[in-house]
Structure 1
Amino acid sequence: MNLGPLPTAWPPADADHVLVSGAAMAAIEQELFASGLPVEALMEKAALALSRRLAERPGRDRQDGLLVLVGPGHNGGDGLVVAREWHLAGGRVRIWCPFERRRPLTEAHLRHARWLGIPLLEAPPDPEDPALWVDALFGIGQHRPAGPLIEALLEERQRRRPGALVAIDVPTGLDADDGVLLGGVAATAATTYTIGLIKRGLVQDAALRWVGRLERIDLGLPAALLVQPGGEPLLGLGPADPSSAPWPVPDPAAGKYARGRLLVVAGSRRFRGAAHLALAGATASGCGSLRAALPQEITPHLWQIHPHVVLEPGLGATPAGGLALADLGEGWLDRLDAVLLGPGLGGIDPAGGPPAAAIDAQERQRWQDLADFEGLLVLDADGLNRLAALGSDWLRTRRGPTWITPHAEEFRRLFPDLAPLPRP
């Protein structure tokens, strides 16, 4: 099959996709300042872009106004610039700053905001306040809990007015690097406007309920700052729009066998629906030829649901009721471009778990076949759990491209040495 040249990497290592730690972002800023860019200029650039983004929000923000929660550092300074711009544009805005000491630049912006006549609240705001709250308390510089007063206020705000808070850079109370809570609660943001580059903690599972919609505020950073000295991205690649993926483009005159030949190995006695769902997804991919190796219990009637699928002989069950990969015949990978293996395969050992001793010699041979297969292999769900029983070193023996789709627990079983480390 010839589907034309494909990009070497996706997503691209640009500002929309590179993930950074808080320290890495701070180092980038310091390099900009060392080059001659004033701190004030970078703050203005970030906060003006954020002000424009807030002005574009739908809803009642213009009528109900903003309440900016101002912290002691430069995150608070960003919030004060937003308050200034909102006020100068004729919007209603107020400020609350629960800190007596502030960094000099933030103090200067607060002094100017007071000169403009922007109200400064003396007491903590009412959690039922109708204004949109802008969390500019800490950002990436927070490493300790926000304290009982602020945590209680943020928790009550979400309870009484859910969806009425946005965060600048990082929600207060959330670690920017690993996405975990620094205290008992974090600000629950409808949108987090992260500044410059995406902080890696914002895309972790533990952070999603606090981050809300994630939007990046572009600073126009030079490309040279997005890579390490060896040319690699700073810390990894972040979320990407699937529509931008490097989809293959077949020759318009190509027949079905030149448009992708895929085998799906899925399902078991207990998880029969997984086979149907996997086949539905494979069908939607647009592949030209779709084959399936499935539990023998569901193969007789599959034609009524998926009449386009070519069936391999039905597979038996392991002692635990899982799909017996040992029943796959010789040459099962012939004339294929891709294999999906794993959804709903079920276990091997009836006592629970897939210890290596429960994988017989015949199934081990099938895994060796997969190691030698030069096409694309997608390993999902119980396919990953069985691989964990063999050992992740198997991946080093793979001759073709391999995609794995582990959730947190599957990743822990597959890579026990890496699981405790912070994710990029």
Structure 2
Amino acid sequence: MGFRHRNTDDEEAAGVRIGQSIRRAFLAVKEGDSPLKKIVTVEQMRAIEQAADESGLTYEKMMENAGKSIAAAILDYWPDAEGWNVTILAGPGNNGGDGLVVGHYLQEAGAKVSVYLTRERTEEDENLQRIIQHGCPITVAEKDKRHKTLRDLIVSTDLLVDSVFGTGFKPPIKGDTKNIFEFVNKVLGEDASAPYIVAVDCPSGMDCDTGEIADESLSADLTVTLAAAKPGLLRFPGAEYVGEIVVADIGIPSSQKEIATIDLEFATREGVRAWLPERPRDAHKGTFGRVIIVAGSINFPGAASLSALGAYRSGAGLVTVAVPEPIQGFLVPMIPEATWLVLPHELGVITGSAADVILEELPHCQALLLGPGFGQEQATLNFMKRLINPSAAAKQGIGFVRHEGIDEALKLPPIVIDADGLKLLAGIPDWQVHLPGQSILTPHPGEMSVMTGLSVAEIQAEREQTALDWAAQWGHVVVLKGAFTVVASPLGQATILPFATPALARAGTGDVLSGAIASFLAQGLQPYQAAILGCFIHGWSGEIAAGMIGSTAGVIAGDIAELIPAAISELGRC
């Protein structure tokens, strides 16, 4: 992997800007743009560009738009770049052409641009001619003995633009070009003040469908991808090389059929901002909904408080926590804002008879969360059976003796099921038909394995398709957690969340997430929207926490919950 770099004595001024916006590792679009919000394969991108060309937006114009948008993204990310030394590392194809256009616009903005060509380009190349007319130094690799000029450029430049290979490339990098990349990495490793790196469309050497990437590829601080994101940018190992991803507008309208029919999307700040619930000044707690959280057991008591905190910090008006009686007393001081339901128990775990307590409260809540900290005891399985299918449970004698008059058509509120609740659910025949339509299921890969019978390796190899397939089969929203969480709708849509941080790899962070999602359900969002917004706020909170604490290693679930308001504030609505 290429080396990370820092080319300034003042890192905050150079663009980290933790206090202004959490930018690292999440997809963004420029304010005011109309983002496509799509993820497209290489083949789909070719079809999109071909259709655009046939409709009058020529390939040449798309390249011009791409270079201009990339230059604008660079200047937005690093405002001081207009005075920097910039080196364009350009290949012989279209990606290199994009890089030359970037160089043209950065030169016009005041940067000092040099170009290093991995192979000679033709004299008819109009983009190269513009660079020549600017008087920018141009070096061709085959004429640079022992890469002396390349070394001089790397050690003196502030910004290196990687535009050698584009989305059509399949690793490995070979021949003289491999030698160039190996040399660049060697020099970067020797130079403590090495330049920032921007990748054009993708880091050179990446398979943009699979995420496979060449060992010699350069690790970018910023990848400006064109028209839409590519799957490989969000798949490991390639995802380690992309830095922040920004989508550049190249002039293709989002209404174009080849784009509009694509159902795989990514979440952006601009996209989710519109879903934040309004906070009217004349509101009362009922305005923002009541969440009932059924959680916790003698061995996992803290899950209930983390979920409740996640729900409250995400804006719920009232959170009622239902827990086994032995753990209620010491949980109250942890979240005094909650109201409480004390549940029947056996040795500190929820029993089947607890379902009657919950069923009586359901008409008075707008969202129900089940599962965090349950454990997997038979008694709690009986509770789940009775709750989601009370008439059948009554006939089987599960729960209270009082079975008379149970409403066969009892309507459950919108439900989120998490953690052990999912494993218990898998033990209930036909569970999916008894839940409210488009309930939200939030498995990590291990829980997904229990629910589906697939191995974790099979799930991880095809995360998006796995989530889509089972969401459709079950008829519910699936939140497949992990690096780049996938939210899939039973209607065939899927959204990838742009967060992959070890800050979230902690016990309890999933409890916070499920509470946040339930909160947004209670505030009136549709299930698919609530799941995406909850995941986005949760992931962003993790990024903020890592920035404030100074290390992902020290972030705990409570930090994530406490920083949810900061993430919401960053979205600009509250």
Q: TM-score, normalised by structure 1?
A: 0.78
The code of the aligned residue for 2:229 comes to I
Q: Is residue 2:71 matched to residue 1:51?
A: yes
Q: C-alpha offsets along residues 287-338 of structure 1, whole Å, 9 cap, x if unaligned?
A: 23311122444311222232232222246478xx9x5464533151422210
Q: Is residue 2:264 matched to residue 1:236?
A: yes
CA shift at 1:151, angstroms? 5.0
Q: Is residue 2:176 matched to residue 1:135?
A: no
Q: Is residue 2:410 matched to residue 1:383?
A: no
Aligned 1:255-404 pairs, distance under 5 A:
256-257=285-286, 259-314=288-343, 316=345, 323-324=349-350, 326=352, 328-333=354-359, 334=362, 335-348=364-377, 360-368=381-389, 373-390=411-428, 394-395=431-432, 397-404=434-441
Instruction: Please say if residues 158 and 188 of structure 1, whose CA atoms lie closer than 8 Å, have aligned partners that are also in contact.
Output: no
CA shift at 1:78, angstroms? 0.5
CA shift at 1:76, angstroms? 0.9
Q: Is residue 2:131 matched to residue 1:113?
A: yes
Which ranges in structure 2 are unaligned for 5 or more consecutive residues? 1-33, 392-408, 465-493, 495-574
Bigger mean CA offset, 336-345 vs 250-259 = 250-259
The code of the aligned residue for 1:53 comes to A
Bigger mean CA offset, 61-70 vs 130-139 = 61-70
The aligned residue for residue 175 of structure 1 is 207
The aligned residue for residue 149 of structure 1 is 179
The aligned residue for residue 4 of structure 1 is none
CA shift at 1:396, angstroms? 5.1
The separation in 2 between residues aligned to 1:317 and 1:164, in whole angstroms, is 59
The separation in 2 between residues aligned to 1:422 and 1:154, in whole angstroms, is 34
Which ranges in structure 1 are unaligned for 5 or more consecutive residues? 1-13, 350-357
Bigger mean CA offset, 180-189 vs 154-163 = 154-163
* DSSP 3-state at the match of 2:321: strand
CA shift at 1:221, angstroms? 2.1
CA shift at 1:253, angstroms? 6.3
Bigger mean CA offset, 89-98 vs 67-76 = 89-98
The aligned residue for residue 192 of structure 1 is 223
Q: C-alpha offsets along residues 67-96 of structure 1, whole Å, 9 cap, x if unaligned?
A: 111122211100011112323444211122
**Gap change, CA 1:94 and 1:251, over 3 Å in 2:** closer
The separation in 2 between residues aligned to 1:217 and 1:171, in whole angstroms, is 15
Bigger mean CA offset, 41-50 vs 147-156 = 147-156
The separation in 1 between residues aligned to 2:438 and 2:217, in whole angstroms, is 40
CA shift at 1:279, angstroms? 1.2
CA shift at 1:158, angstroms? 6.2
Instruction: Please say if residues 199 and 222 of structure 2, whose CA atoms lie closer than 8 Å, have aligned partners that are also in contact.
Output: yes
**Gap change, CA 1:37 and 1:57, over 3 Å in 2:** same
The separation in 1 between residues aligned to 2:46 and 2:133, in whole angstroms, is 31
Bigger mean CA offset, 268-277 vs 71-80 = 268-277
CA shift at 1:189, angstroms? 1.4
The separation in 2 between residues aligned to 1:24 and 1:90, in whole angstroms, is 36
Q: C-alpha offsets along residues 17-67 of structure 1, whole Å, 9 cap, x if unaligned?
A: 222112111111101112233221111111112222323343653444111
CA shift at 1:164, angstroms? 1.1
Instruction: Please say if residues 268 and 317 of structure 1, whose CA atoms lie closer than 8 Å, have aligned partners that are also in contact.
Output: no
Instruction: Please say if residues 107 and 113 of structure 2, whose CA atoms lie closer than 8 Å, have aligned partners that are also in contact.
Output: yes
The separation in 1 between residues aligned to 2:431 and 2:110, in whole angstroms, is 63
The code of the aligned residue for 2:35 comes to A
* DSSP 3-state at the match of 2:250: coil
The separation in 1 between residues aligned to 2:172 and 2:43, in whole angstroms, is 18
Instruction: Please say if residues 375 and 401 of structure 1, whose CA atoms lie closer than 8 Å, have aligned partners that are also in contact.
Output: no
CA shift at 1:183, angstroms? 2.8
The aligned residue for residue 275 of structure 2 is 246
The aligned residue for residue 26 of structure 2 is none
Aligned length: 393
Kindly indicate which of the two structures has a greater share of residues assigned to helix: 2
Instruction: Please say if residues 171 and 187 of structure 1, whose CA atoms lie closer than 8 Å, have aligned partners that are also in contact.
Output: yes
The code of the aligned residue for 1:378 comes to V
Bigger mean CA offset, 241-250 vs 77-86 = 241-250
RMSD (Å), alpha carbons: 3.6
**Gap change, CA 1:49 and 1:173, over 3 Å in 2:** same
The separation in 2 between residues aligned to 1:374 and 1:157, in whole angstroms, is 62
The separation in 1 between residues aligned to 2:247 and 2:134, in whole angstroms, is 29
CA shift at 1:193, angstroms? 0.9
Instruction: Please say if residues 15 and 226 of structure 1, whose CA atoms lie closer than 8 Å, have aligned partners that are also in contact.
Output: no
The separation in 2 between residues aligned to 1:158 and 1:376, in whole angstroms, is 53
The separation in 1 between residues aligned to 2:212 and 2:112, in whole angstroms, is 32
Instruction: Please say if residues 290 and 309 of structure 1, whose CA atoms lie closer than 8 Å, have aligned partners that are also in contact.
Output: yes
Q: TM-score, normalised by structure 2?
A: 0.60
The separation in 2 between residues aligned to 1:48 and 1:208, in whole angstroms, is 25
The separation in 2 between residues aligned to 1:205 and 1:416, in whole angstroms, is 24
Instruction: Please say if residues 40 and 105 of structure 1, whose CA atoms lie closer than 8 Å, have aligned partners that are also in contact.
Output: no
The separation in 2 between residues aligned to 1:295 and 1:86, in whole angstroms, is 63
The code of the aligned residue for 2:171 comes to R
Bigger mean CA offset, 244-253 vs 80-89 = 244-253
Bigger mean CA offset, 408-417 vs 163-172 = 408-417
The separation in 1 between residues aligned to 2:433 and 2:205, in whole angstroms, is 40
Q: Is residue 2:112 matched to residue 1:75?
A: no
Bigger mean CA offset, 186-195 vs 300-309 = 300-309
The aligned residue for residue 355 of structure 1 is none
Q: C-alpha offsets along residues 371-413 of structure 1, whole Å, 9 cap, x if unaligned?
A: 965422223333334445558x644543244233344444454
